[in-house]
Amino acid sequence: HTRKSTSLFVEKLNEYLKDKEFLVADRLTGADFMMGFGLHALVHHMGQGENYPHIQRYVAGLSQLPSWQAAVQIEQNGVKSQK
């Protein structure tokens, strides 16, 4: 039942993103960062991009943003001390 619910959610999200660059308010927000990492995994690590073309486009767009690239670096390397 959980897999079916997840699949339905991803299908609805894919449709929602059909004509959107960002999730909320037509601008980059925390929602994009919170959802973006999971959607990136769906597309790149689980190979589901072709099944969800609007999510794939959304993830590709996020990947081009300097702020997204900085967040990925932090995720991979941790936050450096400001000392």
pTM equals: 0.84
Confidence of residue 24 (pLDDT cuts 50, 70, 90): very high
- The answer to whether 53 touches 69, Cβ cutoff 8 Å, is no
Residue 41 pLDDT > 90: yes
Cα separation values, 48 from 14, 18, 40, 74, 77, Å: 11, 16, 10, 25, 26
**pLDDT confidence of residue 60:** 97
Name residue 16's amino acid: Y
Mean pLDDT over the full length of the chain: 91
CA–CA distance, 62 with 69 (Å, rounded to integer): 8
pLDDT at 51: 92
